[in-house]
Amino acid sequence: MKFCSSCGHTIEVKVPPGDHLPRHTCPACGIIHYQNPRIIAGCLPVWEDRILICRRAIEPRHGFWTLPAGFMENNETVAQGAAREAQEEVLADVEIGSLLAVVNVLHTHQVHMMFRARLRNLDFGVGPESLEVKLVREHEIPWHELAFQSIHFSLQRFLEDRAAGQELLHMHTLP
């Protein structure tokens, strides 16, 4: 951020009076442009004993496997964002279930919120941000070709919970 998005003046980075962190501040109009973490909303869609995963057609981590997830938008709930991402990335109609994981990803300034989900039918497909979409059983999960640590964490906790017959919320932090 170099220019004030409100008045166009050059931005200064300084600690405002009464604050404790440096902020992007406009010396002309006085506006403080706060920067805060963004929410990644996603889900783990299942059909019977299988999980729907997709291979990324975009950077970062092009070619690696993931679960449908993406930036939450204004004017939607976290669960609606998770369902929308499933629709966009794997063309799937899902019923969102319980919250599975909240993962703080510090270096990207993101909070990943992953829900359990149920596929309403088998009419899924390859969305524009995916190379490939498939249903996998536990032993077929490509653990060494997963795109992100938060996806690895979500899959692990989901499988442990399923084996134990429970649905817990799991919190985690990644540097």
3: contact with a copy of itself by CB under 8 A: yes
Query: If you write DSSP's letter for every residue of the chain in order, what string do you get?
Result: --B-TTT-PBPEEE--TT-SS-EEE-TTT--EE----EEEEEEEEEETTEEEEEEESSSSSTT-EE-SEEEPPTTS-HHHHHHHHHHHHH---EEEEEEEEEEEEGGGTEEEEEEEEEESSS-----TTEEEEEEE-GGG--GGGBS-HHHHHHHHHHHHHHHHT----EEEEE-
31: contact with a copy of itself by CB under 8 A: no
Site string for a copy of itself, 116-155 (x = CB under 8 A): ------------x---------------------------
Cβ at position 51, least distance to a copy of itself in Å = 22
The smaller minimum CB distance to a copy of itself, of residues 38 and 62, is found at 38
Which residues within the stretch 68-97 sit at the binding site for a copy of itself (CB under 8 A)? 71-79
8: contact with a copy of itself by CB under 8 A: yes
Cβ at position 19, least distance to a copy of itself in Å = 11
Residues contributing to the site for a copy of itself (CB under 8 A): 1-8, 10-11, 18, 21, 33-39, 71-79, 98-99, 102, 104, 106, 109, 111, 113, 128, 169, 171, 173
